[in-house]
Amino acid sequence: MEAPTILVTGGAGFIGSHTVVALAEAGYRPVVLDNFSNSQQDVLEGLRQILGYEVPCCVADCAHRSALFEAMEREQVRGVIHFAAFKAVGESVREPLRYYRNNLDALLTLVEVMLELGVHDLIFSSSCTVYGEPQQLPVTEASPILPAISPYGNTKQVGEEILRDVVRAGKPLRIISLRYFNPIGAHPSGLIGELPIGVPNNLVPYITQTAAGLRPELVIFGDDYATPDGTCIRDYIHVMDLAEAHVAALRSLERLSALASYYDVFNIGTGQGASVLDVVRAFEDACGLSLPYCIGPRRPGDVAAVYADATKAREQLGWTAHRTLHQALADAWRWEQRLQHLTGSRAKCQ
Ligand code: UDP
């Protein structure tokens, strides 16, 4: 039997590229669709080296209806994993219209084209930001959804609502939204990983760039939270575990193929909370380095603690995270070192 073709929108991005690897390893035929607005063509070379062949790639914007239609028809797509979206929280606050236009246009166009072509299975990348500051930990899928703090977070909430409503209306789609906790790490080969543009917002790229000497020190955003060591707690998940969750979700949709319409959401996290200081110590331990850091003020919008109850994904998708925080940090460090090697001495940014 021919390998089923899965379209991966945003497949050159951080989570997308790792999901391409997981799909190929699971016997699918991934096809990337990416406009390279926030990713680089080098990713395709990394994928080629990992997989041993060239992954088909369509350079197009997901909101470009005719390009999307043609790509999906030509490649005989059986299912879609939708990553293509802008994702910088701070930028979304400054440029809300650009975020709503981009993220919602892409999603709406994709769903319409899927319906036109009779493609039924869709995995949507959502986020634990929908839970805001949770009242109870760990958070289950039944935890209340709080009003989004940023336009970015709102595009995820609205995206989930759009998909739920389309399924409620009886449209022939089977959809799973995955609510990601904090993806970190890189493929263990060191050939693909995260490519933050400019100063990284996220903790782990900031740590690896500091360890590489690109930044003088990590600033820990607050140590006066109501947590055991005063620093914020998150659920850091290895990006390959997260990538494999998409394969598990696709398989689950295939098992549900007797249903004409289906919608559900799943938390994708490890179920373990780690504080910022835990991550710093784990990094030092995993990489045999000492990391310069200082304590700075709280970052506006940060919640004290959030981590997943991932029982539903284990029970219904048969998926669970199995890589450790140490592994994720060692892989992130291997990737950072490769980036340094590739780019020589990257221009130091202030
Ligand atoms: N953080 C930090 N210094 C940094 C970047 C992040 O102390 O330079 C903290 C941040 O306050 C949060 C945690 O690291 O508690 C994870 O932040 P990140 O931006 O990676 O993910 P978020 O959970 O905010 O989406």
Question: Which residue's alpha carbon is at the smallest distance from atom 14 of ligand 1?
Answer: 203
Q: Which of 133, 204, 234, 279 is the pocket-test mutation for ligand 1 (most atoms within 8 Å of CB)?
A: 234
pLDDT for 301: 84
Q: Ligand 1 in contact with 180 (CB < 6 A)?
A: no
The residues, any chain, with a CB within 8 Å of residue 32's CB and separated by 6 or more, are: 8, 11, 12, 16, 20, 44, 55, 56, 57, 58
For 125, how many CA atoms within 13 A lie in the half-sphere containing its CB? 29
If one counts every other C-beta atom within 10 angstroms of the C-beta of residue 350, the result is 5
Cα(203) to ligand 1 centroid in Å equals: 5
**Atom 16, ligand 1: residue with shortest CA distance:** 203
pLDDT tens across 136-179, in order? 999 999 999 988 889 999 999 999 999 999 999 999 999 999 99
pLDDT, one tens digit per residue, over 256-282 is 999 999 999 999 999 999 999 999 999
C-alpha 72 to ligand 1 mean position (Å): 37
What is d(CA 287, CA 281) in angstroms, rounded to the nearest whole number? 10
Measured from the CB, is residue 202 less than 6 Å from ligand 1?
yes
Residue type, 171: K
Residue 232: pLDDT band (50, 70, 90) is: very high
Angle at 140 between CA 313 and CA 203, to 5 degrees: 85
* 70: its two tokens: 């043609």
What is the pLDDT confidence band of residue 2, given thresholds at 50, 70 and 90? confident
Task: Please give the number of the atom of ligand 1 that sits closest to the Cα of 204.
Answer: 20
Mean pLDDT calculated for residue range 103-109: 98
Pick from 121, 138, 104, 81: nearest CA to 267? 138
Asked whether residue 1 carries a pLDDT value surpassing 80, the answer given is: no
220 CA: nearest ligand 1 atom: 7
In percent, the amount of the chain with pLDDT more than 90 equals: 89
Question: Has residue 340 got a pLDDT over 70?
Answer: yes
Confidence at residue 90, expressed as pLDDT on a 0 to 100 scale: 87
Q: How far does residue 349's CA lie from ligand 1's centre (Å)? A: 19
Residue 201 CA: nearest ligand 1 atom is 19
The packing angle between helices 203-211 and 325-343, to 10°, is 60
**Does the structure show a pLDDT above 50 at 350?**
no
- Residue 335 — very low, low, confident or very high, per pLDDT cuts 50/70/90? very high
Percent of the chain with pLDDT over 70: 98
**pLDDT confidence of residue 346:** 46
Cα–Cα distance, 81 to 137 (Å, whole number): 29
Instruction: Tell me what the mean pLDDT of segment 183-201 comes to.
Output: 93
- The residue contributing the CA closest to ligand 1 atom 18 is 202
Can you give the pLDDT at residue 126?
Answer: 97
Question: Are the C-beta atoms of 144 and 288 separated by less than 8 Å?
Answer: no
Query: Which band of pLDDT confidence, cut at 50, 70 and 90, is reported for residue 295?
Result: very high
Bridge partners of residue 340, in order along the sequence:
none
Is the model's pLDDT at 113 over the cut of 50?
yes
Radius of gyration in angstroms for the set of CA atoms belonging to the chain, rounded to a whole number: 19
Mean pLDDT on 90-96? 92
The catalytic residue positions are 152
> What is the number of other CB atoms lying within 10 angstroms of the CB of residue 137?
17
Sign, Cα dihedral of 323, 338, 190, 29: positive
The structure tokens 């395709």 sit at 44
CA atoms within 13 A on the CB side of 33: 28
- pLDDT tens-place string over residues 10-23: 999 999 999 999 99
Chain centre distance of CA 48: 21
Closest residue by Cα to residue 114 from 24, 36, 174: 174
Q: Please name the residue whose Cα sits nearest to atom 21 of ligand 1.
A: 202
304 lines ligand 1 (CB under 6 A): no
Q: What is the mean pLDDT of the chain?
A: 95
Kindly tell me if the per-residue pLDDT of 192 is higher than 90: yes
pTM of the model: 0.96
CA distances from 276 to 41, 92, 136, 231, 285 (A): 32, 24, 20, 6, 14
Mean pLDDT calculated for residue range 100-114? 98
Which residue's CA lies nearest to atom 20 of ligand 1? 202
Q: Report the nearest-CA residue for atom 25 of ligand 1.
A: 182
**pLDDT confidence bin for 197, thresholds 50/70/90:** confident
Minimal-distance CA residue to ligand 1 atom 4: 203
Q: Does ligand 1 have an atom closer than 6 angstroms to the CB of 299?
A: yes
Q: Which atom of ligand 1 is nearest to the CA of 306?
A: 23
Cβ–ligand 1 distance for 182 under 6 Å, the answer yes
234 lines ligand 1 (CB under 6 A): yes
What is residue 213's predicted lDDT score, i.e. its pLDDT? 95
Question: How far, in Å, is the centroid of ligand 1 from the Cα of 124?
Answer: 24
SS3 for the chain, per residue?
CCCCEEEEECCCCHHHHHHHHHHHHCCCEEEEEECCCCCCCHHHHHHHHHHCCCCCEEECCCCCHHHHHHHHHHCCEEEEEECCCCCCHHHHHHCHHHHHHHHHHHHHHHHHHHHHHCCCEEEEEEEHHHHCCCCCCCECCCCCCCCCCCHHHHHHHHHHHHHHHHHHCCCCCEEEEEEECEEECCCCCCCCCCCCCCCCCCHHHHHHHHHCCCCCCEEEECCCCCCCCCCCEECEEEHHHHHHHHHHHHHHHHHCCCCCCEEEEEEECCCCCEEHHHHHHHHHHHHCCCCCEEEECCCCCCCCECCECCHHHHHHHCCCCCCCHHHHHHHHHHHHHHHHHHHCCCCCCC
Please tell me the least confidently modeled range out of 22-26, 48-52, 108-112, 127-131: 127-131
